[in-house]
Structure 1
Amino acid sequence: MRTIKSAKVFEKVFKRGRRVSTPRVRVTVMECSDEGGSGRVAFIAAKRLGNAVTRNRCKRLLRAAAHECGLPLSGQAMLLFATPKTFDASSHEVARDLERALVKAGLRS
């Protein structure tokens, strides 16, 4: 899975992307045709969620959900943000919310 590592790309997606929220995950998505067609994903858990153990668990849940939903989508750059409800959820619940967010964003039907 290709991830977004550049702060420049991260800022670009954050500023220009479409935002969609569900209780367990927030998604910011932007079309990126200049990347050669393959999509990229970033997993974010802010410090306000808790200590390192909490943030790492949230990111693991987001990664598992992304894998279950078949991310990254080609031609899309996505930022997946953990919410306070992410920590207490199972990976299947997070995947269900992520799928719902993709439908809201118009990336799935």
Structure 2
Amino acid sequence: MKGTIKSRGDFERVFSRGRRSGDRLVRVRSVATGDGRPGRVAFVAAKRLGNAVYRNRCKRVLREAARLEGLPVAGRDVILFSTNETHDSNPQEVAASLRKLLKKVDA
């Protein structure tokens, strides 16, 4: 994973300008960078999901699903949010879900 969204300003830009979509396994927010920069990805697991071990497992599943789908994509910033069902899913299931959602937000 080369590029990661880290700063508050970048998160806010994706939230304010980005398109969103989601299902039971993952939620996605994505925005085009528009300046030819390499794409970046962020992985989010909210504290309401559970303890640190639970949240880290969710993020590991999201990271592997993103890798399977070829993220990050040049010219696109993407934030992936885990859900309650992400933890018990395998990365292949999440990757299939992610593929559909990315087509929706990129259209």
> TM class, shorter-chain normalised?
over 0.9
Aligned length: 106
Q: Secondary structure at the match of 2:106?
A: coil
Q: Which residue of structure 2 lines up, in the alignment, with residue 16 of structure 1?
A: 17
Partners in 2 of 1:103 and 1:5 — Cα distance? 24
Across the aligned residues of Structure 1 and Structure 2, the Cα RMSD in angstroms comes to 1.1
Partners in 1 of 2:105 and 2:19 — Cα distance? 7
Partners in 2 of 1:8 and 1:106 — Cα distance? 22
- Percent identity over paired residues: 54
Correspondence 1:106 to 2:99: no
**Unaligned runs of at least 5 residues, structure 1:** none
Which runs of 4 or more aligned residues in structure 1 lie more than 4 Å from their structure 2 counterparts after TM superposition? none
Partners in 2 of 1:19 and 1:106 — Cα distance? 10
TM-score by length of 2: 0.94
Q: Which residue of structure 2 lines up, in the alignment, with residue 93 of structure 1?
A: 93
TM-score by length of 1: 0.92
**CA deviation digits over 1:23-76, x for unaligned, max 9?**
100000001023x43100000000010000110000000000000000011100
Q: Which residue of structure 2 lines up, in the alignment, with residue 32 of structure 1?
A: 33
Contact residue 65 and residue 92 of structure 1 kept, 8 A: yes
